[in-house]
């Protein structure tokens, strides 16, 4: 346990609280930077994919983890980002213009959809976002002049300053750069007044409102920021897929994104990253595990979604704080050793929470 001696007020809002942060995150950054030189190309591609997922995870974490708005339709924002990016690229916009443009369009969609959504709470909100995702999917299928409908549309390699980025490691660094920007923005956002307002809304809408927070404006802001990040992830995802079809953005993707933030740990920035690593590695793990399983189980087509479901159920029942929560417990165990008590994180006995008038 490190006790920080504070000598100035600025220390309270530092991103890197003490030298330990600088050392370990520096080490992590260095490892990520030299990874392309050390690893096989396949793994680099997978890591780039994890970065894209992490951006989307951060985008989803803002409404779900920080504002308490349960969204079941974030695949729609990824779809908007991906298709907008592909469309602008086909119109001849350069990569560095079209990606931010796609993200901004997705943010605008997010802000607009939040206007009818802002009055709803709980399940109504979740179901309305689900309906929104289905409507977007249907629009993509039928707006053939822009999206190519069910026929799909191809996406080229990104071109930066006239140079085509067709190598895997180049795409890796593009994704890494965007991830770092998004991380920095998210960290800054959640310690700014806006982010504090989000968290206040999550903890109690009524108390937030009585503290003078304008609920509807902040909910719209939360969704717009989320749309921005998720749309950005979608734009990068388009390059990764190389070919867009509407069924790439179905309900399963929304559930995957949700799974990321839940398994990673709701309400933490680390959680989005942990969740992205987990979700990104899961299909590979399943593929490897298939070789060791009897063919009757290994060959069976619905295995992956089913396994997703099982893992989610186990996490929600046994570790609601997610991977990051598990990591915190482990860290505390080491710091307190041998004084760690199992009951430190024990959930207090809880009763059914009701939202009704009793």
Binding site for another protein (CB under 8 A): 64, 68, 70, 72, 116, 119-124, 126-128, 130-132, 134-135, 138, 141-142, 206, 251, 255, 258-259, 262, 300-303, 305-310, 312-313, 316-317, 320, 350-358
**With respect to another protein, which residue has the nearer C-beta, 30 or 131?**
131
**With respect to another protein, which residue has the nearer C-beta, 173 or 251?**
251
Give the burial string for 125-135 (b: 16+ CB within 10 Å, else e). Answer: bbebbbebbee
Residue that has been written with the tokens 């991380």 in this structure: 183
CA distance linking residue 173 with residue 331, whole number of Å: 31
User: Which run of H or of E encompasses 136?
Assistant: helix 122-142
Q: Least CB distance from residue 68 to another protein, whole Å?
A: 8
Q: Which two tokens stand for residue 151?
A: 């026929």
Q: Least CB distance from residue 135 to another protein, whole Å?
A: 5
DSSP of 96-125:
HHHHHHHHHHHHHHHHHHHHHHTT--HHHH
Q: Least CB distance from residue 139 to another protein, whole Å?
A: 8
| CB < 8 Å & 24+ apart, contacts of 198-207 | 198/62, 198/66, 198/67, 198/222, 199/66, 199/67, 201/67, 201/68, 202/65, 202/66, 202/67, 202/68, 202/267, 203/68, 205/121
**With respect to another protein, which residue has the nearer C-beta, 140 or 182?**
140
Q: Least CB distance from residue 291 to another protein, whole Å?
A: 19
Q: Least CB distance from residue 118 to another protein, whole Å?
A: 10
**With respect to another protein, which residue has the nearer C-beta, 98 or 226?**
226
Q: Least CB distance from residue 71 to another protein, whole Å?
A: 10
**With respect to another protein, which residue has the nearer C-beta, 28 or 313?**
313
**With respect to another protein, which residue has the nearer C-beta, 135 or 242?**
135
**With respect to another protein, which residue has the nearer C-beta, 37 or 206?**
206
E-state strands within 147-211: 153-154, 159-160, 163-164
Q: Are 263 and 312 in contact (CB under 8 A)?
A: yes
**With respect to another protein, which residue has the nearer C-beta, 241 or 252?**
252
Q: Least CB distance from residue 184 to another protein, whole Å?
A: 28
In 10 A of CB 351, how many CB atoms? Answer: 5
Helices 269-292 and 322-336: crossing angle in degrees, nearest 10, is 100
Give the C-alpha distances (Å, rounded to integers) separating 120 from 6, 113, 116, 335. 43, 12, 8, 43
Q: Least CB distance from residue 100 to another protein, whole Å?
A: 29
């Amino acid at each position: 346990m490190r006790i920080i001696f504070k000598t100035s007020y600025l220390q309270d809002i530092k991103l890197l609280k003490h030298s330990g942060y600088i050392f370990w995150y520096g080490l992590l950054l260095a490892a990520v930077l030299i990874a392309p030189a050390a690893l096989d190309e396949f793994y680099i591609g997978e890591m780039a994919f994890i970065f894209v997922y992490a951006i989307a995870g951060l985008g989803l974490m803002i409404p779900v983890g920080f504002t308490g708005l349960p969204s079941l339709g974030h695949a729609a924002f990824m779809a908007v980002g991906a298709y907008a990016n592909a469309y602008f690229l086909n119109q001849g916009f350069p990569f560095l213009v079209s990606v931010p443009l796609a993200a901004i369009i997705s943010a605008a969609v997010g802000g607009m959809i939040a206007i009818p959504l802002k009055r709803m709470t709980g399940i109504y909100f979740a179901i309305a976002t689900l309906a929104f995702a289905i409507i977007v999917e249907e629009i993509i299928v039928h707006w053939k002049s822009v999206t190519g409908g069910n026929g799909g549309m191809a996406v080229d390699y990104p071109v930066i300053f006239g140079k085509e980025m067709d190598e895997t490691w180049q795409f890796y660094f593009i994704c890494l750069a965007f991830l770092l920007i998004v991380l920095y923005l998210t960290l800054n956002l959640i310690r700014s007044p806006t982010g504090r307002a989000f968290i206040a809304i999550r903890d109690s809408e009524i108390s937030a409102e009585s503290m003078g927070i304008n609920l509807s404006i902040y909910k719209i802001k939360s969704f717009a920021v989320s749309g921005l990040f998720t749309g950005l992830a979608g734009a990068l995802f388009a390059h990764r897929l190389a070919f867009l079809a509407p069924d790439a953005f179905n309900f399963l993707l929304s559930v995957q994104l949700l799974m990321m933030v839940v398994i990673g740990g709701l309400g933490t920035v680390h959680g989005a990253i942990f969740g992205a690593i987990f979700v990104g590695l899961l299909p590979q793990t399943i593929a490897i595990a298939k070789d060791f399983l009897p063919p009757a189980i290994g060959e069976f087509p619905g295995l992956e979604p089913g396994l997703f479901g099982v893992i989610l159920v186990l996490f929600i029942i046994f570790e609601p704080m997610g991977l990051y929560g598990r990591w915190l417990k482990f860290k505390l165990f080491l710091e307190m050793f041998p004084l760690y008590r199992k009951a430190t994180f024990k959930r207090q006995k809880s009763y059914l929470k009701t939202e009704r008038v009793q």
